[in-house]
Structure 1
Amino acid sequence: MAVGLGGASTANADYYDGGMPSPKFNVKAVGINDTWVGFLDTGRKNWNNAGAGVSIGRKSNAKATFTAGRYNESWYGLYSPSGWRPVNRVFKIKVNARTLSRDAGSKMTEWSRSTTTHELGHALSLDDNPGTRKASLMKHSRNRATVQKPQAYDVSEVKRIY
C-alpha cells in the first residue's frame, strides 16, 4: 500500500486522505481471471454487508481499477490513488499473487480475500496500522487467514469519516 504518498491526517491518525470522496463508488476488474474477480467481489461484499453505509459496485466502465499479477516486489497489495478529492479521485489496486502464494501456504484463498478487502479499505479512507488495540482489517499484523472482513473498529471508522 502506498500510503506514504499522501497519508496526511486529520484529528485521527487512522484517516487516509487517498480515499474516495464518498463510500459509494464502482471499481473495474482489469486483466484477471474468474478466481481473482471472485476475490474482488468477496471484498466488495465484505464491505457492502458490514453495516458501514458502503456501496462498492463492479462496473466495466468504472475508472477505479483492480488487478492482480505476479510482481517482483514484496508487498501483498498496493493501493494507488490519483486525481483530486472530491473532484476526480480514482485509484488502482494491485494484488501480488507471487508474494501471497509464497507466504500464505495452504491459506492462499483466505489471504487473497483479506488483502483485497484491506485494499478496498484504503478507498474508504482507512490508513494502515491504525493506532488502536482493537481488531482491525487494516493492521498489517492481522491474521490474514481469519481476518478477512472489516472488524467493528473498521466499520466505526468508516462511519466516522463519511
Structure 2
Amino acid sequence: MPKRSFSVKTVGINSQWVKYFDTGRKNWNTAGVGANIKRKSSAKPSFTANRYNGSWYGLYAPSGSRPNRSFKIQVNARTIDRDTDSISQYDKWVRSTVTHELGHGLSLDDNPNTSKASLMKHSRNRSTVQKPLAYDKSEVKRIYT
C-alpha cells in the first residue's frame, strides 16, 4: 500500500530551491488529504534541480517496488527559464512543477483521464495551477481509502 507520509532529502540545491521544495511539500501537507511529506537529510527519496539538457520541466524516477519504493525528482531550471518571461512567472512555474512531481510521490499519474482541471495534467496553466486541485485531492483520498 502506498504511503501518504514520507521523507525526501534535498540534494545539491541552494536555499532558494529548498524554499521551492518546502512550498511544494506545504501545498500537499495542507491540502486536506492526510499527506505528511517531510524534508530529511537521511531519506532515500531525493529532490534536486539543475539546468539540464532536455525539454522537460520535471522528472519523477521511481525505483524499487511498493512498499519500499523510492524515487528521485529532478526539476529543470533551464527549460522553465526558457519558457517564462519574468521572475514572477518563473517562481510560479517552479512551484507548479515541484508540487506536480511530489504528487507522483503520492501515487498520482501524469495526465489523468478526466475533463476536470488537475495539477497532474501537463497541459495545466503553470502560472495559475500551483497547488493540488479538487480532482487531485479526491484521487489521493481514493488511493488511500
Give your verdict on TM over 0.5: yes
SS of match in other structure, 2:85:
helix
- Structure 1 gaps of 5+ residues are 1-19
Residue of structure 1 equivalent to 2:48 = 67
Q: Residues 19-38 of structure 1: matches in 2 within 5 Å?
A: 21-38=2-19
Residue of structure 2 equivalent to 1:103 = 83
Structure-1 separation of matches of 2:2 and 2:85: 37
Q: Does 1:129 align with 2:111?
A: yes
The AA in structure 2 aligned to 1:59 is K
- Structure 2 gaps of 5+ residues are none
Residue of structure 1 equivalent to 2:121 = 139
Structure-1 separation of matches of 2:118 and 2:92: 16
User: Residues 26-50 of structure 1: CA distance to partner in whole angstroms, max 9, x if unpaired?
Assistant: 0000000011101100000000000
TM-score (norm 2): 0.96
The AA in structure 2 aligned to 1:75 is W
The AA in structure 1 aligned to 2:117 is A
SS of match in other structure, 1:105:
coil
Structure-1 separation of matches of 2:101 and 2:53: 19
Residue of structure 2 equivalent to 1:43 = 24
Structure-1 separation of matches of 2:139 and 2:46: 24
2:97 to 97, 112, 115: 115
Structure-2 separation of matches of 1:118 and 1:104: 18
Number of residues of Structure 1 aligned to a counterpart in Structure 2: 142
Q: Does 1:154 align with 2:140?
A: no
The alignment yields a C-alpha RMSD, in angstroms, of 0.9
1:90 to 70, 80, 84: 70
TM-score (norm 1): 0.86
User: Residues 120-150 of structure 1: CA distance to partner in whole angstroms, max 9, x if unpaired?
Assistant: 0011111111111111000111100010000
User: Residues 88-120 of structure 1: CA distance to partner in whole angstroms, max 9, x if unpaired?
Assistant: 211000000000000022110000000000000
